[in-house]
Structure formats: structure tokens, C-alpha cells
Structure 1
Amino acid sequence: MLTHQRKQYLLDLLQSEGQIIAKAVSDSLGLSEDTIRRDLRELAKEGLLERVHGGALPLLRRSPALAPFAGREQISTDTKIAIGRAAATMIQAGQVVFIDGGTTAVQLARQLPRDLRATVVTHSPSIAVELVEHPHVEVLMLGGRLYKHSIVGVGAATVEAIARIRADLYFMGVASLHPQAGITTGDYEEACVKRALSDAAARTVVLASPEKLNTASAFQIAPLNQVSDIVMHREVDDALVAPYREMGINIILA
């Protein structure tokens, strides 16, 4: 099969099936998986599909969460407050909790009760500053290179420090959430840090404001089977919520 024939086959398959799984296509065509992945990369560069981990999806809406931090603070402010308030009630006295960076996570920190006794581990200076006035919350800051877009620490030092901690909960801020693409973000190193935090926590809770749903970014953090709970706003359309419920994920409506 010639290159242009393979590409047309892939586009036809995407239209009929709604997704492409590279390994399945390589097996059915008797071609190497590398060949199929190369075709998908080229089709993605042409703007004809969206590359995701393990295959491809139809073109997806890009997340507004990829905008600079200051701009993101103005998006869905009321819903982020509600999500932060609902998430804050999940933390119990004495727990060790990872809190991610990002504008929704900041709202979570602001909603924590002043008398809470817990340990918060974070790679976000913004979260640490929010907790200065909480006298009974022990704050542990993870180091690393400052990723200015999200105002968080990233890199090998951050991942190494995470590996030495076991947390009860991880509140993950996301750029994008999609039933097939999973949890994704726009920076490779940030994805590595979020994945390490999830691996080091007994329970991962995703904070998902409405503009992040049904979108995809370049780098996968994790598939959705690693998520215990998703906190969403109660006004999100049921059709957007349904695929996550069907996966067995606990949905908390704020």
C-alpha cells in the first residue's frame, strides 16, 4: 500500500470509527507500528487529525487552559470557586495531600478551613502562599525549575522528591480532559510531574472547570483509569459528564 493510500485509509477509518489505535491498524495491515505512527504525525501536521497517545482522534478543541496564568484567572471564575469549595470538603484531618498548581487549585487552597490540621505538599509557590495563614496546615514545597506558564516546579529534582512521599490525595489541575485522549497538558515536563504526583497518591482527584472538558493537548499525563474522582460544575451538560460516569469514575458536582 502506497503512502497516500495508507493516509486515506487512516482518514476513512477515523471518520467511520471515531478513533485510530495505531497497534490495531498496524496488525490489520501487516505494517510496522512505527509506519502508522509516522503517517499519523504527518496527517496531524497537515491539520487533518489530532495525535494522542497510542493513535489519533478527530480534531479536538484546544483548551483555553494553555493561555498564560493571568489570563486563565479570568476564565470560569465562579465555577472554579465552586469546584475548589467542593474539593476542600474531601480533605480529612491528618491527611497528607498533594495540591497541584493552576487557577482552580488556588481556589481549592482558599476554601480550606482555618482549623484544618493536615500536610499539604505542593510544587506551586501560589498554593504555598495561599496557605500561609492556615496555622495548622504544614506546607512542604517541592523544588525544581520554575515553569513560568503554570508557576510550578518541574524537572528531575521535582520528580525525585515526589517519589519519596506517599499522599492520601492528589488534587490535579488539568489543561485538558477527554474520554479517549485522557488527561493531557501542553508541556512535557509538567506532564511528567503530574504523572509522578498521581503515582505517589492513593487517590487522584481531577479539578475540571467546564472549558477543559472534551479538549486535548499535546502530552498525555495519564489515562482516565488512574482517576478516582472528577470534580465538575453542576451546570455542565449531562452529555459531557456521561462518558466519565460510564468509566466508573466518581463525579462530584460542585
Structure 2
Amino acid sequence: MLTTERKALILSTLEAQGRIVAKDLSRQLDLSEDTIRRDLRELASEGLLQRVHGGALPASPALADLATRRKISADDKTAIAKAAAAMVRPGQIVFLDGGTTTVAVAKALPADLPATIVTHSPDIVVALLDHPSIAIELIGGRIYRHSNVAIGATAIEGIGVIRPDLYLMGVTGVHRDHGLTTGDREEAAVKRAIMKQAAETLVLASREKIGAVSAYHVAAFAEIDGIIVDKRCPAEEIEVLAARGLPITRA
């Protein structure tokens, strides 16, 4: 079997089964595990899958650039955003994460809502400029261009003096076995810092993130208070999460 044929088979198997076990696939194809692992490394370098111990899992499409991500699951993100915005109460301090879904949340907030929105995303600030009743606090730091958010020591120091009532968090991967993940180590650290300060953390996850894994762990499901997903998310994955006691809102 040619290399291109093997890689195509790996990707089709991953799509159908949601995972690749290198040992099983090597037996199936009568090839060495080293050959399969080499293929997995090369496919991972192209962003087509995420390697894990013993094999691979789907890579998140949410790792694409901002312009591309704005086009992915746009209707689903709007539905999630409306559900999340409805959970914000007058007088609350809410931390809005960076990302396309949280920008949609900012736009969905009522213009006359008296609340304080804290964010490390300039995009969120711009989305809130026509909300005169909302006080906006911007956390500074070094900008991580992929998500257009502030990261690093300065950002974490600023986060450490705020106690949000609610944190609406974005991630790039939500997987039943690997928890919540994202594609950058420092961004993951910032998310954990916000979680530590917030009274309640809700994760916003459109369907392309469900069952996907990224390189850096953010948190386990036991560390969050719930997840908001769209109605078209894979039912089997959602049922597994719900069975573990994770409160789920389907928008």
C-alpha cells in the first residue's frame, strides 16, 4: 500500500471511528507500528489529526486562523451565544474569553444591560462599544494573534485581582477522555487563571469542537460548572458527558 493510500485510510478511519489505535491499525494492515506512527506524525504536522499516547484523535478545526473560524458553524455559534447571553444577570461581573463564539455573545447582550464585562480580547471590546450600560474592563498583555487575546504574566497578574461572577470560556477541543483543550500553552494557562478567579465557569462549544483534541490541556470536566452546545452536536458524545454529571445546555 502506498503512503498516500495509508494516510487516506487513516483519515477515513479516524472520521468513522473517532480515534486511531496504532497497534490495531498495524495489525489490520500487516505493517509495523513504526510505519503507522510515522504516518501519524506526518499527518499531525499537517494539522489533520492530534497524536495521543497509542494513536491519534481528531484535530480541532477551531485551530484555524480567525478569518476561517468565523465561517465555521456560524449559525450554531449564534444559537450558543444567545443562550449564553441570556444567562448574564444585571449587576454581574462577567469574564468573556476570546474567540468567535464569545464575540457573538457580546453582540447578543442587551444594549441596556447594566453589567461589567472583563475581557482580554480587543475584539470583545469592539463588539461592546454600542452597549452604553455595560462597563468594559480590558486585561492587557502580549497579544496571541491566533485568538487575538492577551496572554503572559501581565495578563495573569491583571486577572488575579478580579473576581468574576461568571466566566464564559472558549476552547478548541471537548473530548470525553481528554477533557478541555486548546492549541497554545500560554493561552491554556490564562484560561486556568480566569477559572480560578471565577465563581462559575461555563464552556461554549460548537459542534466541530466536540470529540476533538488539541495539544494543551485546560481543565477536566469536574472543574467547570456546565457546557453550552448547539442542538446539532453528536448526541452520543453529549450523552456521555451528561452521564458524567456535567450540566449541559443545548441551544
User: TM-score, with normalisation over the residues of structure 1?
Assistant: 0.79
* 211 and 164 in structure 1: CA distance in 2 versus 1, 3 angstrom threshold: same
Q: CA deviation at 1:100?
A: 0.3
Q: 1:93 aligns with which of 85, 90, 95?
A: 90
* 44 and 225 in structure 1: CA distance in 2 versus 1, 3 angstrom threshold: farther
Q: CA deviation at 1:224?
A: 1.2
**In structure 2, C-alpha distance between the alignment counterparts of 1:205 and 1:212, rounded to whole Å:** 15
**In structure 2, C-alpha distance between the alignment counterparts of 1:184 and 1:172, rounded to whole Å:** 11
* 45 and 164 in structure 1: CA distance in 2 versus 1, 3 angstrom threshold: farther
2:205 partner amino acid: A
**Secondary structure of 1:47's aligned partner:** helix
Which segment is superposed worse, 228-237 or 114-123? 228-237
**In structure 1, C-alpha distance between the alignment counterparts of 2:245 and 2:51, rounded to whole Å:** 26
Q: CA deviation at 1:46?
A: 6.7
2:51 partner amino acid: E
**Secondary structure of 1:59's aligned partner:** strand
User: Are positions 1:242 and 2:243 aligned together?
Assistant: no
1:50 partner amino acid: R
**In structure 2, C-alpha distance between the alignment counterparts of 1:97 and 1:128, rounded to whole Å:** 13
User: TM-score, with normalisation over the residues of structure 2?
Assistant: 0.80
**In structure 2, C-alpha distance between the alignment counterparts of 1:85 and 1:190, rounded to whole Å:** 25
Point out where structure 1 has 5 or more consecutive residues left out of the alignment: 1-9, 16-42
**In structure 1, C-alpha distance between the alignment counterparts of 2:58 and 2:142, rounded to whole Å:** 30
User: Are positions 1:207 and 2:207 aligned together?
Assistant: no
User: Are positions 1:184 and 2:174 aligned together?
Assistant: no
Q: CA deviation at 1:114?
A: 0.9
- Which residue in 1 is equivalent to 2:106? 109
Contact 1:44 1:50 in 2 (8 A): no
**Secondary structure of 1:164's aligned partner:** coil
Equivalenced residue count is 214
User: Are positions 1:119 and 2:116 aligned together?
Assistant: yes
Point out where structure 2 has 5 or more consecutive residues left out of the alignment: 1-20, 27-35, 42-49
**In structure 2, C-alpha distance between the alignment counterparts of 1:174 and 1:57, rounded to whole Å:** 24
Q: 2:40 aligns with which of 38, 47, 71?
A: 47
**In structure 1, C-alpha distance between the alignment counterparts of 2:247 and 2:182, rounded to whole Å:** 22
Q: CA deviation at 1:237?
A: 2.6
- Which residue in 2 is equivalent to 1:232? 229
**In structure 1, C-alpha distance between the alignment counterparts of 2:119 and 2:85, rounded to whole Å:** 15
User: Where do 1:1-254 residues align within 5 Å?
Assistant: 47=40, 50-51=51-52, 56=53, 58-254=55-251
